[in-house]
């Protein structure tokens, strides 16, 4: 029997307990041993839960119990999740997590502690919810020089944008619906301001390029500024607006950004709707590969958490020799996003007084109160130098 502990009995924590219990028979057949939930750590009590007798309030009960071999940190937030994970790894327990904030911020430290203690730190559920992305990119594509990753990495914002595109609902109505359905983070700004996507693309940058772009170096913009007018203009141009996390290698440097993007209908990411996520990876041997599926929700996310538990449990008696360690990219190794070329959608409140010809601008809308163009491939720096009026800018993919 392999004992595990769950840190945090929220949506993903309870989903993980549910999957481990419901699929116990097939999981024990696959692992070759039964997986037993010994403890669930939470500040609250859950007297009506079938797991009520597993609840503990003191993390040290778990850390000091040598029978616990695997901890699933499903608490969210940086603290005390980092400290608890670090204590568990130092006590010789492997840790799995869905916590993208901790992985993006403290991944280098936690992977190092795991390596030093011959245990594993796995985080498949931290990006793309239930979609396998971390393992496939980190293991199955290692023969490739990966040049670019673009992803719809946040289910809540994709749901909101889909409602705006298909149902012409305004942003607030669509956000309220996303919250009702339990997609949004506790604080929806993590979703709508792009912070959640920023953490996920930071993690993917480390998986794809071997070094982490620190989240504070990822230029991040959310979807609050997207209007129904932009949605209509995008459609006119043959594109759908998506919140895209992008990490790309250019001239030996890495650039990462998150911004609302006009994704042309020829790009497979443009058809990804509702809460679904998609990650498009380009490798020099394989070309484009896309991962698609449910990027949020209790059981999809638990699916990835439990898969990591199963992987660790299956090889528990084997020596650990594959733990990856990450470094952070330094400022010299990062290309600021405003130097990254792309076509740009620009919208002005009125027709700008000067000529946009030097940007190769194609006019999309020419109304008295709104003027929109799509430029040639230029940097945002070039746009800023050319244009003196206030404008909304979105990348084109």
Q: Which residues are identified as catalytic?
A: 200
Q: Is 295 in the site for ligand HSE (CB under 6 A)?
A: yes
Which residue, among 151, 140, 141, has the nearest Cα to 285 in the 3D structure? 141
232's CB contacts (< 8 A; 6+ apart) are none
Q: Is 191 in the site for ligand HSE (CB under 6 A)?
A: yes
Stretch that binds ligand HSE, among 182-190, 251-259, 361-369, 387-395 (CB under 6 A): 182-190
Question: What's the CA gap between 246 and 150, in Å, rounded?
Answer: 5
Q: Considering the complex, state which of residue 276 and residue 344 has its C-beta at the smaller distance from ligand HSE.
A: 276
Instruction: Kindly state the tokens that stand for 89.
Output: 């790894």
DSSP 101-163: HHHHHHHHHHHHHHHHTT--EE-GGGSSTTS--HHIIIIITTTS-EEEEEEE--HHHHHHHHH
Q: Is 296 in the site for ligand HSE (CB under 6 A)?
A: yes
Which 343-362 positions form the footprint of ligand HSE (CB under 6 A)? none
Q: Considering the complex, state which of residue 184 and residue 234 has its C-beta at the smaller distance from ligand HSE.
A: 184
Find the shortest distance in angstroms from Cβ 277 to ligand HSE.
Answer: 7
Cβ burial of 227 (10 Å; 0-12, 13-18, 19+) is middle
Stretch that binds ligand HSE, among 180-188, 202-210, 219-227, 374-382 (CB under 6 A): 180-188
Q: Is 163 in the site for ligand HSE (CB under 6 A)?
A: no
Q: Considering the complex, state which of residue 201 and residue 313 has its C-beta at the smaller distance from ligand HSE.
A: 201
Find the shortest distance in angstroms from Cβ 295 to ligand HSE.
Answer: 5
- Which residue in 109, 177, 185, 362 binds ligand HSE (CB under 6 A)? 185
Q: Is 194 in the site for ligand HSE (CB under 6 A)?
A: no
Stretch that binds ligand HSE, among 178-186, 204-212, 238-246, 320-328 (CB under 6 A): 178-186
Find the shortest distance in angstroms from Cβ 201 to ligand HSE.
Answer: 12
Stretch that binds ligand HSE, among 24-32, 183-191, 255-263, 313-321 (CB under 6 A): 183-191
Q: Is 323 in the site for ligand HSE (CB under 6 A)?
A: no
DSSP run (H or E) holding 242: strand 239-250
**How many residues sit close enough to ligand HSE to count as binding (CB under 6 A)?**
11
90 φ/ψ angles, rounded to the nearest 5 degrees: -65, -25
Q: Considering the complex, state which of residue 42 and residue 193 has its C-beta at the smaller distance from ligand HSE.
A: 193
Interstrand relation of 68-73 and 2-7 (parallel, antiparallel or unpaired): parallel
CB of 243 within 8 A of CB of 261?
yes
Find the shortest distance in angstroms from Cβ 207 to ligand HSE.
Answer: 16
Q: Is 196 in the site for ligand HSE (CB under 6 A)?
A: yes
Question: What's the CA gap between 132 and 348, in Å, rounded?
Answer: 40
Which 97-156 positions form the footprint of ligand HSE (CB under 6 A)? 129, 154-156
Q: Considering the complex, state which of residue 2 and residue 195 has its C-beta at the smaller distance from ligand HSE.
A: 195
Question: What's the CA gap between 375 and 260, in Å, rounded?
Answer: 16
Handedness of CA 194, 197, 203, 208 (dihedral sign): negative
Which residue, among 255, 246, 216, 239, has the nearest Cα to 339 in the 3D structure? 255
| Residues contributing to the site for ligand HSE (CB under 6 A) | 129, 154-156, 183-185, 191, 196, 295-296
């Amino acid at each position: 029997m392999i004992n595990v502990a769950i840190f945090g009995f929220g949506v993903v924590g309870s989903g993980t307990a549910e999957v481990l219990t419901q699929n116990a028979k097939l999981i024990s057949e696959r692992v070759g041993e039964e997986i037993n939930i010994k403890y669930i750590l939470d500040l609250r009590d859950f007297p009506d839960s079938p797991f009520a007798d597993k609840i503990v309030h003191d993390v040290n009960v778990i850390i000091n119990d040598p029978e616990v071999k695997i901890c699933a940190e499903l608490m969210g937030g940086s603290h005390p999740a980092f400290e608890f994970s670090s204590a568990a790894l130092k006590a010789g327990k492997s840790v799995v997590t869905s916590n993208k904030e901790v992985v993006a911020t403290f991944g280098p430290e936690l992977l190092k502690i795991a390596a030093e203690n011959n245990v594993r730190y796995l985080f498949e559920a931290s990006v793309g919810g239930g979609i396998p992305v971390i393992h496939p990119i980190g293991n199955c594509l290692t023969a490739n020089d990966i040049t670019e990753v673009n992803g719809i990495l946040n289910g809540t914002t994709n749901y909101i944008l889909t409602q705006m595109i298909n149902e012409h609902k305004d942003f607030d109505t669509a956000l309220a619906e996303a919250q009702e359905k339990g997609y949004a983070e506790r604080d929806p700004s993590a979703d709508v301001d792009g912070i959640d996507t920023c953490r996920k693309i930071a993690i993917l940058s480390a998986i794809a390029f071997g070094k982490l772009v620190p989240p504070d170096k990822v230029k991040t913009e959310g979807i609050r500024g997207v209007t129904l007018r932009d949605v209509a203009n995008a459609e006119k141009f043959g594109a759908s607006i998506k919140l895209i996390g992008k990490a790309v290698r250019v001239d030996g440097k890495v650039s990462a950004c998150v911004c609302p993007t006009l994704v042309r209908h020829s790009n497979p990411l443009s058809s990804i709707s509702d809460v679904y996520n998609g990650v498009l990876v380009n490798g020099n041997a394989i070309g484009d590969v896309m991962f698609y599926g449910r990027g949020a929700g209790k059981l999809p996310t638990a699916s990835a958490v439990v898969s990591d538990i199963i992987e660790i449990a299956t090889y528990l008696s084997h020596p650990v020799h594959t733990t990856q360690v990450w470094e952070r990219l330094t400022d010299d190794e990062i290309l600021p996003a405003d130097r990254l070329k792309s076509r740009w959608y620009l919208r002005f409140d009125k027709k700008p007084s000067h000529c946009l010809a030097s940007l190769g601008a194609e006019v999309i809308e020419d109304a008295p109160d709104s003027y929109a163009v799509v430029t040639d491939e230029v940097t945002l720096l070039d746009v800023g130098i050319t244009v003196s009026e206030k404008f909304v800018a979105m990348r084109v993919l």
